[in-house]
């Protein structure tokens, strides 16, 4: 794994040299647009709105539309004049209770690895945060952009998780939350029973992107000139629930009948994941 950033964590007078590594990856399928008659890839040309003439790279400048139809042109030297102090440091300015932060603020995690000379301070910060239930709130610059971020313990490592600024969080004030609906004790008890019956240990490996898998399978079949069978059409689900108690009871009955299958599937999924890991290790070796 390759570090995307190297610098330090700082809080008070403490400096901990660290490297930042990706903690997630996106598995998106990429498609090209082609001309139908000969499958020639389509290229995109940059043209000016005013006359639809193609514009070369040397003619293109960067502008900000401050009013509709009015732009300010910015050059590279303009951006260089914007000084950001925390370019090589994760500057922790505050520590807060993790349960006080709305989960919507967090959006992208990175692993932090201590560099030479920083192991003890790293371990100390990791243990101290784990024992207090707090996280560090910091500013960090990655790819020339300043981010709000948190430093939190995660397993045996510290994780840097990028955060939205408060101005980026939208308010749901215009949406309806169903709070005016009347819930009776029987409905609540049945819903809680259904939730308890469907509760299992968290095993992230068993959740797969089934759409992506199906598209890849379809691509493989087409590449091998195989006929593709149409997927069965699922029956539409009822959206006008009249008798909620009846629906809850049917859900409880259905969940009870599916429970042995769920347990078996979970075990099988775990074995499949384990087998896949072993296979990858054999290939790597």
Q: What is the CATH number of the domain that holds 141?
A: 2.40.290.10
Q: Is 59 exposed, middle or buried (0-12, 13-18, 19+ CB in 10 A)?
A: exposed
Q: What is the structure's pLDDT at 281?
A: 45
Indicate whether 202 and 127 sit together in one domain: no
Structure pTM? 0.70
Whether 116 and 214 map to the same domain: the answer is: no
- Residue 254: pLDDT above 60? yes
Whether 153 is in a domain gets the answer yes
Instruction: Answer whether residue 154 is part of any domain.
Output: yes
Same domain membership, residue 121 and residue 19:
yes
H-run or E-run covering 212: helix 210-223
Task: Please check the confidence at residue 142 and state whether its pLDDT lies above 70.
Answer: yes
Q: For the range 196-202, what are the long-range contacts, defined as Cβ-Cβ under 8 Å and sequence gap of 24 or more? A: 197/252, 197/255, 197/256, 197/259, 198/255, 200/262, 200/266
Residues 64-102: tens digit of each pLDDT: 998 998 999 998 888 777 766 656 889 999 999 999 999
| Averaged confidence pLDDT in the chain | 84
CB atoms within 10 A of CB 146: 15
Q: Is the pLDDT of residue 106 over 60?
A: yes
Q: Residue 11 carries which DSSP code? A: E
| Cα–Cα dist 229/218, whole Å | 9
Query: Rounded distance, CA 160 to CA 3, Å?
Result: 13
Sign of CA dihedral 124, 125, 126, 128: positive
Of the pLDDT bands very low, low, confident and very high (cuts 50, 70, 90), residue 270 is very low
| Mean pLDDT for the stretch of residues 118-133 | 94
- Output the pLDDT for position 116: 93
List the structure tokens of 8. 């330090």
Same domain, 20 and 156: yes
pLDDT band at 41 (very low <50, low <70, confident <90, very high): very high
9 lies in the same domain as 98: yes
More confident residue, 207 or 168: 168
d(CA 60, CA 80): 19
How far apart, in Å, are the Cα atoms of 193 and each of 153, 200, 248, 260? 33, 14, 10, 17
Range of the domain at 193: 185-225+245-279
Residue 191 has pLDDT above 50, yes or no: yes
226 vs 263: CA distance, rounded Å: 35
Tell me, yes or no, whether 106 and 218 share the same domain.
no
Q: Which of 43-47, 225-229, 259-263 has the highest mean pLDDT?
A: 43-47
């Amino acid at each position: 794994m390759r570090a995307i950033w190297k610098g330090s964590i700082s809080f008070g007078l403490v400096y901990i040299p660290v490297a930042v590594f990706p903690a997630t990856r996106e598995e998106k399928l990429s498609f090209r647009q082609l001309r139908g008659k000969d499958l020639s890839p389509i290229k995109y040309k940059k043209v000016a709105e005013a006359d639809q003439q193609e514009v070369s790279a040397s003619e293109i400048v960067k502008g900000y539309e401050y009013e509709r139809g009015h732009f300010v042109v910015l050059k590279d030297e303009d951006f260089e004049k914007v000084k950001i102090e925390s370019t090589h440091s994760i500057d922790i300015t505050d520590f807060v209770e993790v349960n006080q932060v709305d989960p919507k603020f967090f959006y992208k995690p990175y692993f932090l690895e201590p560099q030479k000379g920083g192991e003890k301070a790293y371990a100390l910060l990791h243990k101290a945060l784990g024992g207090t239930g707090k996280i560090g709130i910091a500013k960090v610059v990655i790819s020339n952009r300043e981010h709000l971020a948190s430093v939190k313990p995660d397993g045996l490592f510290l994780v840097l998780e990028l955060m939205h600024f408060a101005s980026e969080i939208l308010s749901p004030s215009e949406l309806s939350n169903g709070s005016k609906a009347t819930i009776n004790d029987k409905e609540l008890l049945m819903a809680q029973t259904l939730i308890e019956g469907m509760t299992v240990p968290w095993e992230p490996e068993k959740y797969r992107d089934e759409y992506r898998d199906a598209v890849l399978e379809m691509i493989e079949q087409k590449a091998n000139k195989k006929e593709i069978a149409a997927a069965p059409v699922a029956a539409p689900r009822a959206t006008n629930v009249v008798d909620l108690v009846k629906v809850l009871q049917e859900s409880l009955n259905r969940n009870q009948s599916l429970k042995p299958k769920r347990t078996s599937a979970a075990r099988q999924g775990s074995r499949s994941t384990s087998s896949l890991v072993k296979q990858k290790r054999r290939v790597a070796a």
